[in-house]
A = this chain, B = another copy of it.
Amino acid sequence: MRHFLGVGDVENPKALIDKALQIKKDPFAQAHLGKNKTSGLIFFNASIRTRLSTQRAAQNLGLQTIVMNIDQEGWGLEFEDGAVMNGHKAEHIREAAAVMGQYCEIIGVRAFAKLQDRQADYAETVLRKFQQFAGVPIISLESEIRHPLQSLTDLITIEEWKPKPKPKVVLTWAPHPKALPQAVANSLVEWLHTTDYEWVIAHPEGYALADEFVKGAPTTHDQNAALANADFVYAKNWSSYRQYGQVLHQDPSWTITPAKMQLTNQAKFMHCLPVRRNVIVADAVLDSDASIVVQQAANRVWAAQAVLTEILHQL
């Protein structure tokens, strides 16, 4: 694996999950793998879990980390080829990425969807340009449309907690006051396609994900039906893909409540966090033993460490 921008970069997703679980048992077994190497973590957007867990994973490998909030600590970057740069953007991605690649052996980048222009967002411009120009491996810390470190974490967590070999996983839309990207949902779907789980996507009308991710996966508008026999309920909000970036409604009947959890096979509740309490999910679910969101978040370290390990071995 050279880059990690999506599941397509991973030769064997199941082997990567196993590696992460192995690392979790013995986090410092390769404490010198990153010696004399530096990872740059470039944030175009806010981050808590990704920021902290990726740094921690790097530290466990003896890999130095330089974190940069590029808009706050640097300046605006131009991504258009041929631009006459007489506006407010001070540097072109061609130089910025190439130079960062001179200072860092690995670069992680986070760049959220702007939700203004679907085509632009779905081109994953920021990460692809880094990939094109940096000359070093790029790790997605969440792109406009994918969050592969999260999805890898999600599968690690399901593997740990699954009550039977082929658990039923429900990815369900839930309401949220703000327009959010489709990245987490797209990415989870992309990774679920590599598993032999029984899984289904539940969402209200108007919230269908892009066909390029769904690829005919089972989908329903009936959340209650989907929850029947579920072993895992993965709640997540996303804004509309069809009416791009819009919040069509915030239907509270899609909130995950104890009554909803009663429909399941004593399912575990998952969410990528941050989660809006009593909007996405009721306190009574999140504070119950059914919730494994903190254990899930903890696995972010092992996902990142597995990916860094793979990339470092290939350098």
Give the interface of A toward B (CB within 8 A). 27-28, 31, 36, 38, 40, 43, 46-49, 51-53, 55-56, 59-60, 64, 66, 68-70, 72-75, 78, 81-87, 90-92, 94-96, 98-100, 102-104, 177, 250, 273-279, 283, 286-287, 293-294, 297-298, 300-301
Contact = CB atoms under 8 A, between A and B. Distances in A.
Given A36-B31, A69-B72, A75-B274, A99 B177 contact: no
Which has the most chain B C-beta neighbours within 10 Å: A52, A287, A300?
A52
11 contacts: A48-B91, A48-B99, A51-B66, A55-B66, A78-B277, A86-B276, A91-B273, A96-B274, A102-B294, A102-B301, A103-B298
A9 to B, nearest CB: 25
Contacts of A59: 38, 64
A273 B96 CA distance: 9
Given A87-B177, A91-B274, A294-B95, A52 B103 contact: yes
Majority secondary structure of chain A interface residues (helix, strand, loop or mixed) = mixed
A113 B302 CA distance: 37
Q: How many copies of this kind of chain does the complex include?
A: 3
A277 to B, nearest CB: 5
Contact of A294 (B31, B98, B283): B98
